[in-house]
Amino acid sequence: MPSRSFHHLIVLTAMSLSILSCAEKDKQVSSIFHSNDENTDTQHLDMRELEEGGEIIAVTLSGPDTYFEWRGQCFGDQYELAADFARSKGVRLRMEIAHDSTELISKLQNGEADIIALPMPDTPDCILAAIQDSTKTDSPTHDRKALGWLTRASSQQLAEELNKWYTPDIKQKILAHRNQLIQKKIHHESHSHPRPKVKNAAGGIISDYDNLFQRYAALCRWDWKLLAAQCYQESAFDPNAVSWAGAQGLMQLMPSTARHYGAAENVFDPETNIRAAASLIIDLNKEFAEIHDEDERISFILASYNGGQGHVRDAMALTKKYGGNPHLWSDVRQYILALSDSKYYRDPVVKYGYLRGNETANYVSSIRSHWAYYSGIR
C-alpha cells in the first residue's frame, strides 16, 4: 500500500446517496479498496491531519450488509455510512477489509486505518464513537453494552467529529437507500428476457447492431455472435438502458469504465459503447493470458466483466487452495458461488471479500446459452 503521504486516486461518483465508484483504476474489473501486504506508513493521524491530507481510511469486514464491491460499485450499510461521513468532512474515502475482528483492531492500531467502520464494543486503547446499537451483556442484570465505530485513543478530534455527525436519522437514510436499490433490482430482474431476441432469423440478422458486433469482435478475436449474446444479456439491445446500479448503454458500462475508455461523453451511442466494451474485453483477455485454452478464457473474461477481476482471482485462489484447477471454469465456478458464504469470502487467500456469486455464475452460463442459440442462425 502506498505511503499515506501520497494522494490516492479515488473517484467519488454520485448515485442517489453517492455510491462511490471502486474501479476507476481497474476499469470495472476489480476494486482498489482491499487488503494487501505492502508496507504502510504507520503515522497516527487525527482529524486535522486527515482533512489536510484529504483522505480517510475506514476498515470493515466484507459482507452483504457491511461492504462489498460489484461491477465497480461499492455497496453495504457500513460503506454508505463511512462515505457519508467522508463527504461531510470534504475528504476522500478509502475502504479496507479485514478478515476478522483481531485484524480490524490491528489495522487501526498500526495506523493502516483511521476508523473501524463496524459496530464494535468498547475496546482498550480505542475510543467508541458513532454509537449505532447495543447488545446484552453476560452480567446477572443483562445490562446492555453500546456498539459503535472505533478510533484510536490518540484520535480524539476524529471521535468528536464522528459523534457530531452521527444521528439515527443518518442510518435510516442509508437503510431507505438500500431498500430503494433492492426495489430497482427486483424491477430490473422482473423485466429480463430469458429467450434471446432475434430481429430476423430467416435473414440471419440478430439485431440492428450486427455490423458493430462484427467490427469490434474482430478486434477482440471473438466470434461476433458471442459479443451479440453478451449485449443481449446486458441490455436486450436497448442502447438507452440504465441498470439499477447505474450501468449504461448497450454493453452496460459503469461510469468509471466509460470514463477510462473515453466513452463517458457519448455512452448511449451504440458504436461508442460497443467500442469501449471491446477495449475492456481486450484488456481482460491480456489479464487472463495464462489460461491457454481460449474457450475456457472466455468464461473468466465474462465473469470479470460482470463481477470484477479481483473477485475472479479470489475464486481462482480458493480453487487452488482446495485442490481444484484454477484455470478450469467448472472448478472456479464453484468458488465464485462460494464467495457469497462468509466461510470463503473471509478466507485468508481472499482479498476482495463478498461477491454476489450466483449472479456472476448465471451471467456466464446465460451468455454461453445465448451464444449457442445465435450460432445456429445463419
220-230: pLDDT as tens digits:
999 999 999 99
The predicted pLDDT at position 355 comes to: 96
Tell me which of 234, 271, 287, 296 is the catalytic residue.
234
Same structural domain for residues 65 and 127? yes
pLDDT value at 305 more than 80? yes
Same-domain check for residues 238 and 125:
no
DSSP structure class, residue 264: G
Note if 69 is an active site residue: no
Q: Stretch 118-122: mean pLDDT, rounded? A: 93
Same domain, 253 and 337: yes
Buried b (16+ CB within 10 A) or exposed e, 330-363: ebbbbbbbbbbeeebbbbeebbbbbbbbebbbeb
CATH number at residue 154: 3.40.190.10
Q: Which amino acid is at 151?
A: T
So what's the pLDDT on residue 2? 44
Say if 122 falls within a structural domain. yes
| Whether residue 319 sits in one domain with residue 202 | yes
Q: Bridge-partner residues for 73, per DSSP?
A: 21, 70
Q: Do residues 69 and 126 share a domain?
A: yes
Residue 31, domain member (yes or no)? no
Average the pLDDT over 324-330 and give the result: 98
pLDDT tens, 127-167?
999 988 777 766 666 677 889 999 999 999 999 999 999 99
Q: Determine the average pLDDT of the residues in 11-16.
A: 34
pLDDT at 32: 29
- Residue 127 covered by a domain: yes
Question: Does residue 76 share a domain with residue 153?
Answer: yes
Question: Which set of grid coordinates corresponds to residue 144?
Answer: 446492555
**Residue range 212-223: mean pLDDT, rounded:** 97
Place of cell 487452495: 321
Q: Are residues 92 and 133 in the same domain?
A: yes
Percent of the chain with pLDDT over 90: 69
Nearest alpha carbon to residue 150 among 113, 100, 175: 113
Using the predicted structure, report yes or no on whether residue 46 has a pLDDT greater than 80. Answer: yes
Residue 16 has pLDDT above 80, yes or no: no
Please give the average per-residue pLDDT across 45-63, as a whole number: 93
Give the residue carrying C-alpha cell 461510469: 255
Paired strand residues for 96? 59
With a cut of 90, say whether residue 26 has pLDDT above it. Answer: no
CATH assignment at residue 250: 1.10.530.10
Mean pLDDT of 16-23: 40
Res. 359 pLDDT band, cuts 50 70 90: very high
Answer yes or no: do 131 and 207 share one domain: no
pLDDT at residue 253 tops 70: yes
Q: What are the two backbone dihedrals, phi and then psi, of residue 96, each rounded to the nearest 5 degrees? A: -120, 155
**Chain centroid offset of residue 16 CA:** 17
If asked whether residues 119 and 209 sit together in one domain, one would say no
- Residues 263 and 139 both lie in one domain: no
Q: Is residue 166 domain-shared with residue 299, that is, in the same domain?
A: no
Residue 321 has pLDDT above 80, yes or no: yes
What is the count of structural domains for the chain? 2
Question: Is 298:291 a contact under the CB 8 Å cutoff?
Answer: no
Give the residue numbers spanning the domain of 103: 47-180
Average pLDDT, rounded, for the chain: 85
